[in-house]
Structure formats: C-alpha cells, structure tokens
Structure 1
Amino acid sequence: MSLYPPPETVKAEVFARLPEEFRRKGRRSAWADANKRGEELHSFLEGPAFDARGNLWLTDIPWGRIFRVSPDGVFTLVAEYDGEPNGLAFHRDGRLFIADYRKGILVLDPGTGQIEPVLERARGECFKGVNDLVFAASGDLYFTDQGQTGLHDPTGRLYRLGTDGRLTCLFDTLPSPNGLVPNKAETAIYVAVTRANAIWRVPLAADGSTSKVGLFIQLSGGLSGPDGMALDSDGGLWVAHAGNGCVWGFDILGAPKCRILSGEGLFTTNLSFGGEAGQTVYITESESGTVIKYRLPVAGKPLFGPSNR
C-alpha cells in the first residue's frame, strides 16, 4: 500500500533538439566506454543552467562540449576541449563553473569561451570523477565526487569549496553521489545517491560541519537512479530520474506531488528552472539529445548567481 496518493502525471513538450550538425556518429569515447558500456553516443547532454539573459547552457560529456541555447531554441557551440564536462553552475559575477569528470572544477568565461582550472586535486590526489555542483547563498561551492562508486564501493564524496579557498570533504561514504541542491533554509544539502536510488539529506551545522546524515526520499525502478535536482520557491524538490524517463516533484516534506513524463527517452538526466517568471522546468533527455520543458504553478527557488532563478 502506498503511503501517499498517486501524484499528478503530466507530459513534457520538446523545447529544442541538438542539431544534426552537432551529433557525433560512428565514434566511441573513453567516457562512453567506462559509463555506457561502449555505446556510440552522438551526445550526452547534461548540466542545464540559465544565465541572466535567459540563455540555457548545457554540457555534452563524452565530447567535451559546452553549448548555449537561446530562448528560441537555437544551439551555439561555445567551447570544445579535452575534458568531460557534467554539471554547470553560474557564479553571481557571470562566470560559469563546470564539474568535469576528468579535470575537476573548471571555470568558463561565457564571453570568450576560455576555460581555466579552479580545483584539479584534493590534497595532491586526483578526484574520483566530479559530477555536479551548486553555489550556496554564502558563495560556498558544494560539489559531488562520484567516479565509479556505488553500492559495491560506497566511497563517493561531498565537498565544499569555501569563499576563502578552503576545501572540506564533508563525508566520503556515498554510494554514487550525483546532483545536489541546498534546502530552502540552506540548513541542509540534498544529494542524489544514484546507485542507491535515493535522496539523502545532509544537515549543515552553524560551523559548517555535518552529522546525522539521513535518507530523505527512497525511489524505485528505472535503469539508473536520481540524477540532477532543483528546488522550487516553496521548498519542494524536483528530481530527474535517469533511466526512468521522468522528473519527480516532491513537496517540502518529501511527499510526491507530480511526475513529468519525458516522451522522448528514458535518460532524463538533469533540470533547471527558467522561462517566464522562472516557472518552467527545462530537462535534458540525454538518450535523444533533446531538451524538454514543462510549466509549473510554482517558480524555482532563487539560487546564488544569475541562473537557476
């Protein structure tokens, strides 16, 4: 028996498709060999983030590309480099920060497309493979280090890079940490733990430390698990369920209230609020190379920076 009534089920519509000129065909990549069992991927879109002008920025992990998509759905290739970019987050000064699986934390100048390293190692050691990142209102940057961790190897990590440049590992026992977002009061961080098919709550003490980490939401089904996440202005959590072809909407207490179906493929990997009044969720569907969208009755929670309204 379900603890909650069935959530409202709706279907997203297509916002934009990756043009054929940008689809790589007949080629393999090291990232796909390691993470997609050697599939020949035309692309793998991730990391949606809005800038102050309403442009949507995306990553293409296996081919090291950063795209800008205009409000009318036109793709522009801004940068292509020898990396594997995943999550994106805008700083309030307009710079775009990148969680790169191979290279750590990078920063891109949106005007020139120039990319520079910010943090390539932790205490002299390379990261396992950073995945996603988010700014807190304080300006601190939180990011996940996933690599190939999972239930067989629960050693994924959650880091905080302070505005003073100090790097802190908050804990290192996560089985595949992925997307992350602070709660409404920013007293805790929600982390998508992909291989456990769950969302964990990581409380933050006044001194920045953490304890009593707990399970917030347990999902089920699909071919992968929860991936990117976003918060709405009421404190509700929106979760892209990769491998299940949907985005789940939960209220502030974790009760399911909405399920947005993809209609394009199963790999709904990430999402960001944007559009008019910030009430539309834009979702990357990586299997088809498509961005889909759905307008909600609630806006996204304003985060640190001009994006993620």
Structure 2
Amino acid sequence: MKRFVVFSLMLFLSGGLFAQNSSLYNASAVPKLVSNQFAFTEGPAVDKQGNVFFTDQPNNKIWKYGTDGKLSVFMDSAGRANGTYFDSHGNLIVCADEHNQLWQVRPDKKVLVLLTNYQGKLFNGPNDLWIDKKDNIYFTDPYYQRDYWTRTKPDLSSQKVFVLMKGQSKPIALDSMVRPNGIVGTPDGKNLFVADIGDNKIYKYNIDTNGMLSNRQLFFAQGADGITLDERGNLYLAGNGVTIVNPQGQKIAHIDVPESWTANICFGGKDRRTLFITASKAVYTMQMNVRGVE
C-alpha cells in the first residue's frame, strides 16, 4: 500500500509538472535556429514594436532581429556591448565594457556616455541591466577579464549591483555579491531578481519607494547568466539551456538548447510570445503560450 501511495504521488507530481510545461509551450516546441554566424551572442532587448536587439560582443556589433524575421546590423563599434535594455523613450541603454561604461544609444545611433566610473574608480565591467518604469537603471558589475583590456585586475574591491537614478550622474551601490550577472525586475516595480553566478544563487529583493533595495532573500539555489520574466511571474534562467522557475521558487521546466552555453533571453515579437535565446555563436527562437513582460 505504501509503495502504491508513493507511486501515485510521483505520478501526480510529474503530471502537474507536465501540465505546467504544456501551458507554457506546446509539447512539440523546440528552439529554432535563426543564425549561427556570430562569435558570442549576448544582451537581447525588445523595443516597443517587438523587434529584438542583441550583441555580438567579440565582433563589437549590435544586431537587430526584426518582427519580420530578418537580421540586420544596427551598430558597429558598439563599445563591446554586453547587456542592453530599452528605456521609456526608445533609447537603447548599453553595458559597454570596452571601457567599462554605461551608454545611451538613441534611435539615430548617437551615443551618450552615462557613466564612466564609481567614486573615481573604473567599473569592473557593467554586464546586464533592467530599467524600471521611472527610467531608473539597475545594473550588475562583475569582473570578467577581457583580452581587449590593458588592465589585469579590478580597480574596485568588490562586485556590486548598482542603480543610476533618473536624472542623476552618479550611481548608487546597492549590494555586493561574489559575481552578479543577470538582473530583472517585476512590471509593478516592487521586486528585483539578481543572479549571483559566482555563488550559484538567485536572489530576490524588495524595491522600496525610494528605489533602494531591501529584504534580500534566496529565491533559487542555482546560478544563471541572463534572466527574464513572463506574465505569470515565472523566472527564466539562461546558462545550461533555459531553466524556468515559478513565483514560489520551484523549478517547473527546462528547455534544452543545442549549444554549449545559453547566455541570455528575452521575449520578443509583436505579441511578446517569441522567446529569443542568445546561445554561444547562435541565436534561437521558440514560440511560447505565455507573454514576456519586458
């Protein structure tokens, strides 16, 4: 009898997991290769029309994947762009780690350098970012030694999460981690998720009314590169494929991606139901039954 109960419980749990998977995407859905012509893809961001912009960091380019399915180069000499995100005015905010800066790239491709340092010291290398509805910019600053740098060690003593408040010229340090990486906030602006890839953890914070962070909690015991959210509050973790975690911090699905590393993800397309995946030398798309919230 005991074995039967255990077996029945396993069937119930696996059935529940399958039901959650099937509600997110069809059972037959798999990532579809768009192109593998790149050196290393990163930093996808979606504009108001649903076009996705992403970076090829070693080749120093920002690409556009249009809602028509066409690829085009948006920008050359892109500051070795890594993470990107659109602000409310349609400017692409870029983690430009060639010189460890934060850029604003206007639709006409004119560049404004927003940040060059923290308290007179070079950033480690701004990596990923999220912008709230007030246009406050939250970003991570891990240290990854680049072959195009002349320095061989960081200027800063730790690796932090920062915010640049709208209209301000100086960033505010919010928290320190082993190696912060992916970052995303909820649409209501109440919570922020940050991946500490150096400590194999995802943390969740409250965002206070003044834009500062409080109540740091361990959300999920797995690291990640880029992260994003869907309309149900599920968190998508890039790294070994794509892991999907529900709002309670439970793994509910995993999407296999046929590349050695999945660096980042976002939802694009006119209906925001296309999961766009940057993975090593390639980019992929996968049709979903849920919408993204970025």
Report whether the alignment pairs 1:163 with 2:166. Answer: yes
Q: Is the 8 A contact 1:15 1:292 kept in 2?
A: yes
Instruction: Report the Cα offset of residue 231 of structure 1.
Output: 1.1
- CA distance in 1 between counterparts of 2:76 and 2:187 reads 35
Please name the residue that 2:230 is paired with: 232
Distance (whole Å) between structure 2 residues aligned to residue 116 and residue 283 of structure 1: 28
Partner of 2:83: 87
Match of 1:305 in 2: none
Percent same amino acid among aligned pairs? 27
| Alignment partner of 2:57 out of 58, 61, 69 | 61
Aligned to 1:281: 275
Shift of 1:235: 1.5
Alignment correspondent of 1:144: 140
Paired residue for 2:48, among 52, 57, 60?
A: 52
Query: CA separation in 2, counterparts of 1:261 and 1:269?
Result: 13
Question: Structure 1 pair 73/184, CA: closer, same or farther in 2 (3 Å)?
Answer: closer
The answer to whether the 8 A contact 2:116-2:123 is kept is yes
Where 2:198 maps in the other structure, the secondary structure is: helix
Mean Cα deviation higher: 116-125 or 71-80: 71-80
Partner residue, 2:31: 13
Report how far residue 101 of structure 1 moved.
2.0
Contact 1:232–1:298 (Cα < 8 Å) also in 2: yes
Question: In the alignment, is the contact (CA less than 8 A) between 1:184 and 1:235 conserved in 2?
Answer: no
Contact kept? 2:163, 2:172, Cα under 8 Å: yes
1:298 matched to 2:284? The reply is no
Q: Distance in 2 between matches of 1:110 and 1:297?
A: 31
What does residue range 66-215 of structure 1 map to in structure 2 within 5 Å? 66-81=62-77, 83-103=79-99, 104-111=101-108, 113-148=109-144, 155-165=158-168, 166-171=170-175, 173-215=176-218
Establish whether residue 217 from structure 1 lines up as the match of residue 220 from structure 2: yes
Q: How many aligned residue pairs are there?
A: 262
Q: Distance in 2 between matches of 1:204 and 1:55?
A: 28
Q: How far apart in 2 are the matches of 1:247 and 1:182?
A: 18
- Give the alignment's TM-score, normalised by structure 1: 0.77
Q: Which amino acid aligns with 2:171?
A: L
The alignment status of 1:256 with 2:248, answered yes or no, reads: no
| Equivalent position SS for 1:282 | strand
CA separation in 1, counterparts of 2:182 and 2:46?
A: 17
Rounded Cα–Cα distance in structure 2 between residues aligned with 1:12 and 1:227: 21
Structure 2 Cα separation of the partners of residues 100 and 136 of structure 1: 20
The answer as to 2:271 corresponding to 1:267 is no
Q: CA separation of 1:185/1:116 partners in 2, compared to 1, >3 Å: closer, same or farther?
A: closer
Query: Equivalents in 2 of 1:294, 1:79: separation in Å?
Result: 25
**CA 1:229/1:65 → structure 2, altered by over 3 Å: closer, same or farther?**
same
> Which amino acid is the alignment partner of residue 112 of structure 2?
E
Residue 18 to residue 117, structure 1, CA distance change in 2 (3 Å): farther
Query: How many angstroms apart in 1 are the aligned matches of 2:141 and 2:30?
Result: 30
Q: Deviations over 1:193-248 (max 9, x none)?
A: 112121111222333333332211012xxxxx4011111112221111x2x2x111
How far off its partner does 1:82 sit?
A: 6.6
Instruction: Answer with 1 or 2: which has the greater Rg.
Output: 2
TM-score, length of structure 2 as denominator length? 0.81
Q: Deviations over 1:150-174 (max 9, x none)?
A: xxx9921111111131521112x20
Q: Detail structure 1 runs of 4+ shifted over 4 Å in the superposition.
A: 3-11
Aligned to 1:29: none
Matches of 1:229 and 1:52, distance apart in 2: 19
1:68-108: CA deviation from partner (whole Å, max 9, x where unpaired): 12234332222222732100101121111101223310121
Hey, what's the Cα distance between the residues in 1 that align with 2:261 and 2:157?
23
Q: Which runs of 5+ in 1 are unaligned?
A: 24-42, 220-224, 302-307
Indicate the RMSD between aligned Cα atoms, in angstroms. 2.5
